[in-house]
Amino acid sequence: MSINSKDYVKICPKCGSTDIHLETRIIGGYSEGSGGNFCRNCSYGVDKIVIFPEIKKSKIKEFIKEIKNKKLN
Ligand SMILES: [Zn+2]
């Protein structure tokens, strides 16, 4: 089995949504290549520059489960 990058998706670490707005823009003369990304579902990343983790698509359900468990505790 080979690891295909298409199997990976950016996910919001706050709500688990994969509906991430991706935008590359140059702010103040420097480019991080990831500035301007935010979660369309919960707006995470709108007011600050955050790096959204990329996870395997097959792990999305697990990821969301973990987030929910953290919220309960
Ligand atoms: Zn979110």
Query: Quick one: pLDDT at residue 18?
Result: 96
CB neighbour list of residue 14: distance below 8 Å, 6 or more residues apart: 39, 42, 44, 67
How far away, in angstroms, is 13 Cα from ligand 1 center? 7
Radius of gyration for the alpha carbons in the chain, expressed in angstroms and rounded: 14
pLDDT one-digit tens code per residue, 11-68: 999 999 999 998 765 556 555 544 578 999 999 998 888 889 999 999 999 999 999 9
Domain of residue 36 covers 13-72
CA of 71 to the centre of ligand 1 (A): 14
Residue 4 forms part of a structural domain = no
What is the reported pTM?
Answer: 0.74
Evaluate whether residue 3 is within a structural domain.
no
Of the candidates 57, 53, 18, 51, the residue with the CA atom closest to the CA atom of residue 37: 51
Q: How many residues does the chain have?
A: 73
How many angstroms separate the alpha carbon of residue 1 from the centre of ligand 1?
Answer: 31
| Residue 5 within a domain | no
Residues 9 and 50: their CA atoms lie apart, in Å, by 16
Ligand 1 centroid to residue 63 C-alpha, Å: 12
